[in-house]
Amino acid sequence: MTRIDEGLVARCTAVLAGLALCATAHAAQKELVIGVSDALTGPGAVYGLPQSNAVRMAVDDTNAKGGIKVGQDVYKLRLVAYDDKANPTEATNSVRKLIDRDGAQYLLGFCCSGPTSAVASFIGRENVTMLVGNAAERTITAQGIPNLFRTRPPADFTGSAAGAFVAKRGVKTIAVIGSLDVSFYSQYLEAFEREFTRTGGKILAKETFGLKDRDMTPQLTKVRALNPEALLVLGYVEPCAFVYRQAVELGMKMPRYGFTSGSEEQFLKVATSEQMEGVWDLRPTELTVSALGEKANAYVAEYTKRFGTPPSPSSPYAYDQFYVLKHAIEKAGSVDPKKVQDSIRSGGIPPEAIMRYLPVGSAMFDENGQAYTTNGAFQWQKGKWVYVSDLPSDPVAYSKYLRSLRK
């Protein structure tokens, strides 16, 4: 009888077990590409770059904790981000590259409405899931595209709340200066006007500026001659900051209301704190610690530590996008975009979310793929945006209205 060396058997068993374990571990370790298309340079970068950074921060944190667990598999995440320069053509190219070359099935970012609308026009035909951030144009979610979801509420959801707020403050006449040829600002104004005029308010003038305009004195001079009780400024941070600054330079002392979602740092690049004093920003209740609490505080601290600059107020839309996706994948137990979409549609608000969302029923997103945050009135006081109050908003009614627009 052949004698078996028990020590040898034990060693071989150990080696085989080790190899099997390695093989199993290797098979389970997979990679998931997260694509980001956003404005990383140009005028839209004030919104897009912080969004891209926020996604990077969430991806890094998730990878540091081991990745996303899907059934027996663990997915490490690889972030691929392209600059769409807030340009529809560039955004289309970026997204095509992400889908066709990088194999991304999950697309995040999208700060600006023009490029987002361009991508939305074809994304329904792709086997991917698209999560839109700061882009606020209404039609993006009015079409009912099944694989598109948006964390930011549409501009007119906020505009009507803002109109009621300004009217309630006793303003009877107002002049508007803004990027009125950009549809989501005109939609904000349309809703603002509806509420503002309901109580007898009147809009005296609607003056336009371009995205790259810096000299606003011609429009301000014209408006000043009409002697309005207040000014409403709608647009990207930089041109709006020029309006606020030059209004002071022209000696205009009326209350200034706006819709910009810019951070203190972004405004202070153009205007001084004294020139900004008293300005109101009527917008979704975005990143302000006093409005959003300690979770926002931790987010701001972590972001500032990583990128050397504080985040923009709207950047958590993208941060929240990522955690919506992460929880949806985990809940679906699959990375199949269709299953993940079903999971997003029925899912609640992720615990990591920074913004204060108003659920529609029990879900974070309504049947249009739209999420809603509370709206708030913020005022510039001594160098900071201070959260003053909520603006009453009804997401259920708006959701029905949005659904009614679908053809």
Q: Which of residues 80-109 bind another protein (CB under 8 A)?
A: none
Taking contact as CB under 8 A, which single stretch among the options 83-91, 159-167, 221-229, 348-356 is the one that binds another protein?
Answer: 221-229
Which of 126, 213, 367, 390: binder of another protein (CB under 8 A)? 213
Pairing of strands 29-38, 202-208: unpaired
Residue 309 CB, nearest approach to another protein (Å): 10
Residue 265 CB, nearest approach to another protein (Å): 10
In 3D space, the residue among 380, 370, 214 whose CA is nearest the CA of residue 313 turns out to be: 380
Q: Which of residues 30-69 bind another protein (CB under 8 A)?
A: 41, 45
Taking contact as CB under 8 A, which single stretch among the options 112-120, 132-140, 216-224, 382-390 is the one that binds another protein?
Answer: 216-224
d(CA 383, CA 127): 46
First CA to last CA across the chain, in angstroms? 84
Determine the size of the site formed for another protein (CB under 8 A): 26
Place of tokens 């995440």: 77
Nearest CB to another protein, comparing residues 199 and 217: 217
d(CA 268, CA 311): 14
Residue 232 CB, nearest approach to another protein (Å): 16
Which of 199, 208, 334, 381: binder of another protein (CB under 8 A)? 208
Nearest CB to another protein, comparing residues 158 and 275: 275
Q: Is 210 in the site for another protein (CB under 8 A)?
A: yes
User: Both tokens of residue 14?
Assistant: 């150990």
Place of tokens 């923009």: 312
Nearest CB to another protein, comparing residues 222 and 306: 222
Q: Which of residues 268-297 bind another protein (CB under 8 A)?
A: 269-270
What distance lies between CA 304 and its chain's CA centroid?
18
Instruction: For the sheet with 68-70, list strands across it.
Output: 68-70, 73-83, 29-38, 106-109, 129-132, 148-150
Nearest CB to another protein, comparing residues 223 and 353: 223
Residue 42 CB, nearest approach to another protein (Å): 9
Q: Is 197 in the site for another protein (CB under 8 A)?
A: no
Identify how many contiguous H helices and E strands the chain contains and give both numbers.
16, 13
d(CA 154, CA 373): 10
Question: Dihedral angle at the C-alpha atoms of 305, 308, 310, 312, nearest 10 degrees?
Answer: -120
Binding mask 232-271 for another protein (x = CB under 8 A): ------x---x-----xxxx-----------------xx-
Nearest CB to another protein, comparing residues 166 and 270: 270
SS (H, E, C) 124-148: CCCCCEEEECCCCCCHHHHCCCCCE
Taking contact as CB under 8 A, which single stretch among the options 71-79, 212-220, 343-351, 361-369 is the one that binds another protein?
Answer: 212-220
In 3D space, the residue among 368, 308, 370 whose CA is nearest the CA of residue 158 turns out to be: 370
Q: Where along the sequence are the contacts to another protein (CB under 8 A)?
A: 41, 45, 181, 207-210, 212-215, 217-219, 221-222, 224-225, 238, 242, 248-251, 269-270
